[in-house]
Structure 1
Amino acid sequence: MNEPTGYAVFFFPPALEALGDAIKPYLQDGPAGPHVPCREVDTAGAFIELTLEGRTPDGREVELELMVPGNMVRMIVSARSDHGFGFATRSRPMLEPGMQDAAPAEAPVAAKLGA
């Protein structure tokens, strides 16, 4: 699977206020609100580590790592480049884990055998 993937990290409004100007260069606006797009997310530990790709003013590529307290993050969404980002209707409803699709009603086996 060589398709580019990434994550959109959404913060609680009080977290954005607390982080202030320090987080603003990394935020992007979207239909679901401001978020930080990143290549990798590491949620192990008290801080969530976000790995971003960026460019210096002279055009060099750099890798940035932001670490924020876990209680500031509202939601992390995996985003794929081959699909639109956001919410969409599904062609089939999602099922609870362990449930099977409802099969069309069939005649009982005994009726098929002529019993």
Structure 2
Amino acid sequence: MNGNTGYAVFFFPQALEALGEAIKPYLTNQPEGPHIFCREIDTGGAFTEMTLVGKDAEGHDVQVELMVPGSMIRMIVSAQNESIFGFGPRAAAVASSTPTA
């Protein structure tokens, strides 16, 4: 997909409860709900594989592969190359990216 910068993966509430403390370091808490933002995702199997990119304690880039049962995932949203992410109106983002004469 052109312009794709990653995916937001949302889980069922029961899944977050079952995964407990182990999933919390990977979750991003936003107004639209807790989710994991990942660069790549593979849904072809019993487990959904997510590739996450972050920083270690020294500030170096690290890549982590996280796998969870596919039945725990509620929704996957493709995040495009734009400055905002979420479910709100996009009018401000569209207006600011439109070239002027």
TM-score, with length taken from structure 2: 0.80
Structure showing the higher strand proportion among its residues: 2
**Correspondences of 1:24-103 after superposition (within 5 Å):** 24-82=24-82, 84-88=84-88
Specify whether residues 88 and 57 from structure 1 end up closer, same or farther in structure 2 by C-alpha distance, changes over 3 A only: closer
Which amino acid counterpart does residue 39 of structure 1 have in structure 2? R
Unaligned runs of 5+ residues in structure 1 are 92-115
Considering fraction of residues, name the structure with more helix.
2
What do you get for the CA RMSD once the two structures are aligned?
A: 2.2
Letter in 2 for 1:21: E
Aligned-residue identity in percent: 64
When normalised by structure 1's length, the TM-score is 0.71
The ranges of structure 1 where at least 4 consecutive aligned residues each deviate by more than 6 angstroms after the TM superposition are none
Larger radius of gyration: 1
Gaps of 5+ in 2: 92-101
Aligned residues: 91
